[in-house]
């Protein structure tokens, strides 16, 4: 008991010796300038607390063990039964026995006496030029509608134009030349026509678009010149 008291007294005396100069200095500074003394004392306390926190943190890091390893639990896969879809596969039934070949009846193919069973041979006559194309005149394959002239359409003029051209060996048209142009009403039988050329150009352009089956002479296609064709121009009533 006495030893403990002695230790306490010794510690008290030591602290008094340590802090007495500090307290004396504080009182002197406080008497000199209380604001400066307060600021210095606060800085001293703050510095002491800072060192105390650092000491506590360092002690805490050393005392608490850390383990970053992870443990995985044991995984046990349960046994699974495999279900078969087909336990017993039925075999297909064997086909019935094929019947024995039926004997074919024998036919007596002996030639009949007095009967002619020979087939006559076909006869062909290839005379007449040596070609399979038959002779014939040219035939128009389709009809072409000419474009109505705008000037005639604006003036309400109707009429017709006759064009002459050449049909080639391939059925195309070339060398279209206007022969006659008339203005009048083709729908009125009593109309009086007068000569005009307003439809000649449109009729010539339409003639070049015509297509014919060419004329055949002795099995060969030939040109035909000066073929006339009439184009009629009628305004539709609105």
> Any alpha helices (H) in 120-177, and if so which ranges?
150-155
Tell me the average pLDDT of the chain. 76
Give yes or no for a contact between 159 and 193, defined as CB atoms under 8 angstroms apart: yes
Please list, residue by residue across 97-129, b when 16 or more beta carbons sit within 10 angstroms of its beta carbon and e when fewer do. eeeeeeeeeeeeeeeeeeeeeeeeeeeeeeeee
Q: Is residue 214 predicted with pLDDT exceeding 80?
A: yes
Residue 94 has pLDDT above 80, yes or no: no
* 20-41 per-position pLDDT tens digit: 777 777 677 666 666 776 777 7
Q: Is the pLDDT of residue 120 over 70?
A: no
Does the pLDDT value for residue 85 go beyond 80?
Answer: no
Show the tokens assigned to 204: 């010539």
Q: Judge whether 38 and 46 are in contact, CB under 8 Å.
A: no
Model confidence pTM above 0.95: no
Domain boundaries along the sequence of the chain? 2-63, 139-233
Report how far residue 200's alpha carbon sits from residue 146's, in angstroms, rounded to the nearest whole number.
Answer: 11
pLDDT digits (tens, 9 = 90+) for 179-198: 999 999 999 989 899 999 99
CATH top class, domain 139-233 = alpha beta
Give the model's confidence band at 119: pLDDT under 50 very low, under 70 low, under 90 confident, else very high: very low
């Amino acid at each position: 008991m006495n030893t403990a008291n002695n230790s306490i007294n010794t510690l008290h005396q030591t602290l008094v010796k340590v802090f007495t100069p500090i307290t004396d200095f504080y009182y002197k500074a406080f008497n000199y300038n209380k604001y400066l003394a307060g600021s210095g004392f606060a800085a001293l306390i703050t510095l002491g607390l800072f060192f105390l926190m650092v000491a506590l943190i360092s002690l805490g890091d050393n005392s608490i063990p850390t383990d970053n390893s992870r443990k995985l639990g044991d995984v046990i896969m349960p046994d699974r039964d495999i279900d078969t879809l087909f336990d017993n596969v039925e075999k297909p039934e064997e086909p019935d026995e094929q019947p024995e070949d039926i004997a074919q009846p024998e036919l007596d193919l002996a030639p009949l006496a007095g009967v002619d069973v020979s087939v006559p041979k076909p006869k062909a006559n290839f005379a007449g030029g040596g070609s399979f194309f038959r002779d014939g005149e040219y035939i128009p394959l389709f009809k072409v509608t000419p474009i109505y002239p705008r000037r005639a359409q604006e003036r309400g003029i109707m009429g017709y134009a006759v064009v002459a051209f050449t049909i080639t060996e391939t059925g195309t048209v070339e060398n279209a030349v206007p022969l006659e142009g008339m203005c009048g009403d083709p729908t009125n039988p009593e109309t009086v026509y007068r000569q005009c050329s307003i439809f000649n150009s449109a009729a010539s352009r339409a003639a070049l678009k015509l297509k014919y089956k060419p004329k055949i002479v002795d099995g060969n296609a030939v040109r035909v010149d000066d073929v006339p064709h009439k184009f009629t121009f009628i305004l539709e009533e609105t």
